[in-house]
């Protein structure tokens, strides 16, 4: 059975970009008679707060984006993350690393997500975990997948990012790792999210494979740019829903390039229409869309 999800990090309230992602994943799930789960990505306590979680839940509710099943919180899954980190340790594909960012920037080249880690600590066996990070060993092989929106994607993670961190030096589990465990535990079959995570997907697929988990289908929708900058919760971009929920839905359907409903439909009918006519193939195969015309300042 189709199971999709929306997984916001509560580093700020939702903005037009994250709301379009929520709507796209909701519509994809509902038009496939599937379930739509909500997960709060609050693992990184240095940049997320429960205050923003409450705001996000209220925004989703105001938008009539009602989730199925109980909400999952990454912060409540530490035991699960430890368990699967142990599994990776057992199959000997991890190692402890004490390189500082400065050291890596001096040795490594810039890759798709910061500096490519040159593998300096791979062969060291005397390091302790305390205050050090844990990396996963990557292989010189191509990871390929068919994205439902962006088409065929290929990446050699060893060449483009190197062995990457799964547990940070402050002992916070890294996003790339948690998301895999979460999607597995929640039995997610389809991930619809922003294209800013397209380049992360091969790393996630790699961890899925290492742990012998089923790999979900992925679809990465264009992120929204305002004044040439990606909308971002962490930068304070947000959208007040107030009485504008219906208007925001219509704006998102337009941005998502979907068939528009008649003007005289009620809010509930608009949502029903959007589910009925949702067509993922109509999404533009591009990484970002400028939305200056849709945002009033
Ligand atoms: N928590 C991430 C964000 O808010 C999304 C994670 C995901 O969809 O995999 O950008």
Report the residue among 7, 49, 194 best suited for mutation to probe ligand 1: largest number of ligand atoms under 8 A from its CB.
7
Average pLDDT, the chain: 96
* Ligand 1 nearest atom to the CA of residue 204, by list position: 9
Residue 2: count of CB within 10 angstroms of its CB: 16
Cβ of 44 closer than 6 Å to ligand 1, yes or no, is no
What's the pLDDT tens digit per position in 53-77?
999 999 999 999 999 999 999 999 9
Per the listing, tokens 């994607």 go with 153
Q: Quick check: CB of 200 below 6 Å from ligand 1?
A: no
pLDDT tens-place string over residues 134-165: 999 999 999 999 999 999 999 999 999 999 99
Which neighbouring-strand residues pair with 72?
39
- For 165, other C-beta atoms within 10 Å of its C-beta total 19
Helix (H) or strand (E) holding 253: helix 245-255
Q: Per-residue pLDDT for 241 more than 80?
A: yes
- Give which of 143, 169, 148, 168 is closest to 27, Cα–Cα: 148
Instruction: Judge contact between 64 and 22, C-beta under 8 A.
Output: no
Q: What is the pTM of this model?
A: 0.96
What DSSP state is assigned to residue 207?
Answer: H
Q: How much distance in Å is there from the Cα of 219 to the middle of ligand 1?
A: 13
Q: Is the CB of 14 under 6 A from ligand 1?
A: no
Ligand 1 centroid to Cα of residue 7, in Å, is 5
Distance between CA atoms of residues 122 and 135, nearest Å? 9
**Residue-wise pLDDT tens digits, 73-129:** 999 999 999 999 999 999 999 999 999 999 999 988 999 999 999 999 999 988 888
- Would you say the CB of residue 203 lies under 6 angstroms from ligand 1? no
- Residue 8 Cα, ligand 1 centroid: separation in angstroms? 5
What domains sit in the chain, N to C, each tagged with a CATH number?
3-76+185-296 (3.40.50.620), 79-175 (3.40.50.620)
Ligand 1 atom closest to the CA of 191, numbered from 1: 8
Tokens coding 291: 């939305």
- What is the DSSP secondary structure assignment for residue 67, as one 8-state letter? P
Find out whether 262 and 250 touch, Cβ atoms under 8 Å. Answer: no
Q: Are 224 and 47 in contact (CB under 8 A)?
A: no
For ligand 1, the distance from its centroid to the CA atom of residue 41, given in whole angstroms, is 7
Question: What pLDDT was estimated at residue 297?
Answer: 62
| Structure confidence by residue, pLDDT tens digits, 198-211 | 999 999 999 999 99
Q: Picking from 89-103, 222-236, 257-271, which range would have the lowest pLDDT averaged per residue? A: 222-236
Three-class secondary structure assignment of 10-25: CCCCCCHHHHHHHHHH
DSSP 286: S
- Which whole-number Å values give the CA distances from 54 to 51, 57, 66, 273, in the listed order? 5, 5, 15, 29
Output the pLDDT for position 234: 82
Inter-residue contact 122 to 137 (CB < 8 Å)? yes
DSSP, collapsed to helix, strand or coil, labels residue 102 as helix
DSSP 74-101: GGG-HHHHHHHHHHHHHTT-EEEE---H
- Report the atom number in ligand 1 closest to the C-alpha of 8: 4
């Amino acid at each position: 059975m189709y199971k999709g999800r929306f997984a916001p990090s509560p580093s700020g309230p939702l903005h037009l970009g994250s709301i379009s992602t929520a709507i796209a994943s909701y519509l994809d799930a509902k038009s496939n008679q599937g379930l739509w789960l909500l997960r709060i990505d609050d693992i990184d306590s240095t940049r997320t707060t429960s205050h923003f979680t409450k705001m996000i839940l209220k925004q989703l509710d105001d938008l009539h984006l009602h989730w199925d099943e109980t909400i999952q919180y990454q912060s409540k899954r530490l035991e699960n993350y430890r368990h699967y980190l142990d599994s990776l340790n057992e199959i000997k594909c991890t190692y402890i690393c004490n390189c500082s960012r400065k050291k890596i920037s001096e040795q490594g080249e810039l890759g798709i997500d910061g500096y490519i880690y040159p593998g300096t600590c791979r062969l060291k066996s005397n390091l302790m975990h305390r205050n050090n990070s844990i990396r996963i060993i990557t292989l010189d092989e191509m990871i390929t997948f068919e994205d439902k929106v962006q088409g065929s994607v290929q990446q050699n993670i060893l060449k483009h990012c190197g062995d990457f961190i799964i547990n940070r030096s402050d002992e916070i589990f890294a996003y790339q790792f948690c998301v895999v465990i979460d999607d597995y535990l929640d039995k997610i079959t389809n991930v619809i999210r922003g294209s800013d995570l397209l380049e992360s997907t091969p790393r996630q697929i790699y961890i899925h494979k290492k742990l012998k988990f089923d790999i979900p289908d992925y679809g990465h929708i264009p992120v929204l740019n305002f004044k040439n900058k990606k909308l971002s919760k962490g930068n304070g971009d947000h959208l007040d829903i107030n009485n504008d929920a219906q208007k925001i839905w219509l704006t998102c359907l337009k941005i998502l390039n979907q068939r528009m409903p008649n003007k005289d439909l009620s809010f509930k009918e608009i949502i029903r229409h959007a589910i009925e006519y949702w067509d993922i193939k109509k999404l533009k195969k591009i990484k970002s869309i400028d939305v200056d015309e849709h945002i009033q300042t």
